Structure 1
Amino acid sequence: METIEALIPAALQPDVDALVEVDPEELARYVLETSHPWWRREPCAAALAGRVPEAFVPALLDLVRDDGDVTEVRVALLGVLAHRAELLPWLRDPGSTTRSSFGLAEAILRARGLAGDLTAARPLATLAHDEWRRWRLLGEEGLDALLAHHGAEALAAEVGEERPEDRAFLVRLRHRRGGDVTDALADPDVRVAHLAHERVDDPDRLRRFLDRAPTTEASLWAACALHRLTGDRSEVRAIHRALGRPRVEVDGLPEDVRSAIVHAYVPRCTTRTDPRWRVEAICTVAPPRPHTSWSFRASTVLVGRAFIPRPPVPCGELHGSGGGTYDVIAYRGGAISVSSLGPFVSGEDHPAGPRRYLEAAGFRWIEEPLASLTVTGLCVYFFGDREPLPVRDLLFYWQD
């Protein structure tokens, strides 16, 4: 036991390479002793992969099924015991998960895949389509195991193609087997089409597809894929022009604000984003960056008008963690937020405030209704959500 504790001196600090050299019976005994810290038991359980002592299997399986034990330990054991046939009835039992056990349901689904349970194929396809990478990987691992157990035809037949996640699985499967996924660019679900545009790998095939693309969206996804493969903006611009330069119209959104948002967020938008935004970012020129920051420029205006500004404070520092796209400048009588995306400021507007001086210097004051205007179709991660955001949250973005 002293050896194990020396190899795991603190939480999240296991010596993984050394643990796999520890006698498996010693590891199993440590895992089964529930008085030990869970953060030591978990890596010990993982270190049993491929070498679980047979005499300890029944007790370890009981631990997996024990709702009173720590989820992290149970999940780690699932990773090394999922192939045990005696565990399958419990894995299939809907009552085997509890609402409070974070991550257990997903681990059980993966384990069903590892055990060859074909009835888990559809829920695994759903998990593999999850927007959280940690769950998506578990779903893909489970599906890969089912593929090895049952073959592509049986697995594809079980999953079907009715739901978007089913079709996303078929795109991944077809691509993995060397097939053409270009037609999936026309899928009505934006995330399936996005997946296909990441997988297509033949520029000439994409160009042929453009001649028969059934929808504008399909053509735009083909253009995005061409740009990914060739880096040729001129070809994308020609496609965009031939399509009539489609874009997502957001009534009331000024062009300078739109341009700043497009070039700041399209490179990191989520898979739900309308392809019109993606092509617009390729076809348009990003706003020029000033030699000095916008916060510095705003501070200069405040200094010139005797507002006595304090140094700009980055939003992450202001909130105590994280980061984002704005600084806060406190001054005598108030404070303003200055976006790093362009000459955009916001704050409390009062007669003696700096608004008129900032606007005279070229800044745009962001206020209602513009601040609350949602930029539709452009999906950005924001505190767990991936929905379109209002202008306020895009120009003055903070993420912990």
Structure 2
Amino acid sequence: METVSNLLEAIDDVGRDAARGGYSRPVFSTAELDLRSWFEEQATRRGLAVETDRNGVLWGWWDSATGNGRRGALVTGSHLDSVPGGGAFDGPLGVASALAAVDILRERGVEPQRSLAVAVFPEEEGSRFGVACLGSRLLTGAIDADKARNLKDPDGTTFAEAAQARGLNPQHLGRDEEALGRIGDFVELHVEQGRGLIDLDSPVAVGTSIIGHGRWKLTITGQGNHAGTTLMEDRADPMVAAAQVILAIRKTAAATADARATVGRVQPIPGGTNVIASRVELWIDIRHPDDATTAALVESIHGQAQKAAAFEGCSASLTQESVSGTVTFDAELQRQLSLAMPGAPGLPTGAGHDAGILAGYVPSAMLYVRNPTGVSHSPEEHVEPDDADHGATVLADVLKRLL
């Protein structure tokens, strides 16, 4: 039986990012496709029947001993894509732990009384097409299929084009009643992405909720011009306005209890060193436990952006890319996890997950494994081998109870 660390070591070199450090594994990239092939191989070795659904979700099926079909199955899993320069555990830990949990259940002689599946969801991070949890949103219909098809990556490739290049039919993207109907319960294991488990001195925790969050794109338009011939008083420089907006976003969030707001990506156009930008695009991530407060933060930031842009002779427009309200996980599944994890604390999170999308449609739950650095979306993300194996064992215990 392979340990979780053994499984992760097999993909240690896939998608390494020499420039950023860590891993860059955007959806449908060579790295992410190599990871999907790794999963297919590992699932097949365990006797799981591997399928890819019409939205690109990978499924590894362990059919029930009673032969009663796959409807109402127990599903676990996570994702394999990453943020740019991300850590080794965000996503892959949940997939490797699910595979290890299958090994543990087989070693114990468990014969599932309902089907069990390990699922891998594409584009969870949204690092290529801008919408987080895109695979689970498509599966559930939480995103309009036409909107998803027309999403573009930084190179101008649409999601439809990328999906078609990987063997999917773009016209079949969208809510999948058959696949959704197969999910009776969903349990996702994930690396903990903050300091909760360090401070609580616990290797695992039961997920209780995910705070509401969303992504917005702010476009500030000015006048492109020559950096050497344009006097300072003659400029309509959107980069200056963008700098003011970024500072305003930080100040606004800091003044609101429990709020988090981040500008993680800024793109000047055309982007030359000796060119005053004609346009600056920046992406804002905003999170708060209260959805009304999130909306108020967005409105305030938009108003401040318009003022800052106007002061520089520019204009500003804000478009919503994705929004997920605050999610509370299924109470009965939380109880079952707590019974399988005596003494484990309950833990809310500010990080989004596929389980958070699925929770609006099927009973869903999460369990977290300790990250001793408290750092995530970064190469410093870490999980100790003993904690990883403990997490897989706990996951197996939970799955056995639910099977």
Q: Highest Rg: 1 or 2?
A: 1
Structure-1-length-normalised TM-score: 0.22
Q: Higher RCO, 1 or 2 (CA under 8 Å, sep at least 6)?
A: 2
Q: Which has the higher helix share?
A: 1
Structure-2-length-normalised TM-score: 0.22
